[in-house]
Structure formats: structure tokens, C-alpha cells
Amino acid sequence: MGLPQGSVRLIENMDPITPDNWPKASRTLKMFFKGVHTPWVTGTEKIENADNDQEVLWLLYSKLAPEYQYLGDDASTAQSLWAKCVKLFEASNMSSRMNARRTFVHTLHDPSKPIDLYISAIEDAVQRLDRLGAKPSDTEVSDTLLMNLHKS
């Protein structure tokens, strides 16, 4: 039994997965996996002969940015590829912390889009920093929100 094509089409236009967009991409994919009845992909419980595993493996591999597709080279299940993505994209090292900090302080408000998108982007950046053990203070978050808010 294949994945529902209507559901697959919903994530076709998703940006390729990179460390910078991992928080948003992982939330989207977790909901997708629930929606297509494959939530085991993001868990740790081993599932033998899971339906659709190879399709989900290919889908996850195809959503990775080309420079990260090497993660799928020896992945035999969707769950193992997911675990590799989590390990790489959520690793706390200087490079990931600097990239996360850069995203946080350089997120700008686009007045042509709803303010909720700007706030959500800041929240995503804060969550990423928190996962890396470098959560900014509430004052720093407020300052960044106000500094990067469009002047209009």
C-alpha cells in the first residue's frame, strides 16, 4: 500500500532540509508522518517490516538538501535516516550554535507578510538555540524582535 499521493503533494514544495530550516522541516515532517500513518519514523521503537518504509525513506532522502543527502547512503530504514538527521541537525557544536545565533539575530520582519510569520521565525530560532544549549534570555528575545521589526 503506497503513501496517499494527496498528502505527498502537500510537502512537495517544502524547502530542502538544511540545519537552518530543520526545526520547521522536522515539525512539518512529523505531522506528515502522522498523517500518512507512519509516526514510528520519528520514534525510537524498532518496527520490523513497517508498511511504506522504503517509500518514506525515499521521501525523506529526497527532501534533504543535496549536500546532506549523503546521510541516506547507508540508511536502510526511514527511522535510521531520521535518527541521522536529528543527530546532525540538532548537534550542539560551535558551528551549529553560530548558525543558529546568526539566524536568530538576522531574522527580519517583512511588512508584506503577516506579523505572525516573523514572530514564528523568531520562536523557531529560539527553540533551535535552546536545543543547542544556548537559549537567549527573554530580554534578548524581546530586543531582537523589536530591533528587526520593520519601521512601517
pLDDT of residue 5: 79
Helices (H), ranges, 4-137: 5-10, 22-35, 53-63, 78-89, 94-106, 115-131
Percentage of the chain modeled with pLDDT above 70: 95
Residue 47 vs residue 60, higher pLDDT: 60
In whole angstroms, how far apart are CA 5 and each of 1, 42, 59, 94? Answer: 11, 21, 12, 40
Give the range among 34-38, 45-49, 125-129, 143-147 with minimum mean pLDDT.
Answer: 45-49
For the chain, helix, strand, coil in percent to 5 are 60, 0, 35
Residue 48 has pLDDT above 70, yes or no: no
SS3 for 21? coil
